[in-house]
Structure 1
Amino acid sequence: MAERPSIAEDVKREVRRRCGFGCVLCGSPIYQYDHMHDWALGGAHDAENLTLLCASHHEEKTKKLLPVGKVRQANATPFNRSRESSPVHALHYFGDSFEVILGSLKFTQRLNSEGACSLINVNSETLLGLRLEEGNLLVTLKLYDAQGSPLVLITENELTYKTASWDVEFVGRALTIREGERKIQARVGFGPPRLLNLQRGIFMHRGLRMEISSDGVRVPDHNISLHGGLWTGVYGHGLVAYDKHHGGENFDDAFMIMPVDE
């Protein structure tokens, strides 16, 4: 028997966009590519014959508990296409310590006595935070596009993403959002129970912008940057950036403060 060829990347991207970047029945971002007309029966790798199903719905279809006709109906009106954001996907973080990678920087620590760390704080808003509650490590993350619209939101381990993006891809443990071919807006790798790997993203609040890239962290409009390193300790705040209108708080427990002049 001939080995099944891989699905072309441009075909997979076309299928993802048509399906709203999630299972057409429930919207789950953890999906598999399904041949509505089975490959074994002559179904092609064409975009028109492919759809996205989560593992549960894919298994139901394989066992003939989910009729192909219902899959085709859902493929014509995918769950996520009528929604601005994906449904909530639960992340499984727990324990009293964390490791966060921000480009070329790595932060690792046990949580402080209050059980929380505001790792990225921009103009007095926590945009990446971690806290401990009853043994659960709760992660909150807010990433934006260049215009200030939310791309990725995690609210205490509940993940959603914007469905109107040019492309959203969840492969393995990494969520990637693109604004065009080879133009990555955000990429987040998940490694529960304690690791979060933010390879690219924009934090923004009240006109101030902080960027994460492979080089590290920078505040581009004010020529402030931080490159490389492993940082350990106990901090109530990690990286804090603020302008003169939002600098009234006490950040004595911060790893690094980045005040700007305007």
Structure 2
Amino acid sequence: MVDSIPELKKKIDDYLAAHLKTDVDQPTLYAAMNYSLMAGGKRLRPALTLATVEMLGGTINDDVMHAATALELLHTYSLIHDDLPAMDNDDLRRGKPTNHIKFGAGMATLAGDGLLTLAFQWVSDNQLPPAIRAELTLALAQAAGPAGMVAGQARDIEGEHQELTLPQLRYLHRQKTGALLRYAVLAGGIITNQSRPVKAALADFGAQFGLAFQIYDDLMDVVGTTAQMGKRVHKDAGEHKNTYPGLLGVAGAKEQLHKALASARQVQQRLTKLTGKSASGYNQFLAYFKL
């Protein structure tokens, strides 16, 4: 039985609140790291990892929580840095002033640095088998680094004031947003020591979910409100960002969203055949995309 997203979110929130301070000994740095980490995120990434562990018959214990919640540390670092004046220069995140507005650009940068490095500490500093810790660490580094999320951010910066083709846009977002969501699902397979074919299918599901997530986020910037999103909307067009609605229109972007979700559901069926276990626990995640 897979826990519901609210149940998983509570476990993650409680774990983060209880464990962050243990590894941070500078008060202002802790305050800045904790401010963004506990600002009310959806926790979809570690929730996907934990749901995958449960779906595959694993047990959520302290070691699994330490490794899984590391991803939320890393995701939060990326948001802090993305909001900085030198990047997107946003002043609102999750309905609150962004980290650099609250603490200044220098301390915000350090808070992001602290969360990034602490993520790799947590993913390796637990009692999971050494081979699993090594595989998680490598996969996370690849997802977050210069062939993954960081590369996607670089493509996003260079792509401003240029109109990318649909394949170029997909590639950009496969790195920028999709890489961490792909890892989130794959990590559950690594923790439960699945076969290569199962890990490949899990990674495929994560990639399709990541694509749907980015298209949905692009759409909500057009049709959503600041209250819904917890951040400024209608910014992408003004900043000449490459987005699915900008390239395809709202109707075309919705069509791409439906295709990504259909592909994810096909992978669900493949996972059930490969593992002999129901992948219906992912249905609640796919239900996230409501316009």
State TM-score, norm by structure 2: 0.24
Larger helix percent: 2
Instruction: Please identify the structure whose Cα radius of gyration is greater.
Output: 1
Larger strand percent: 1
State TM-score, norm by structure 1: 0.26
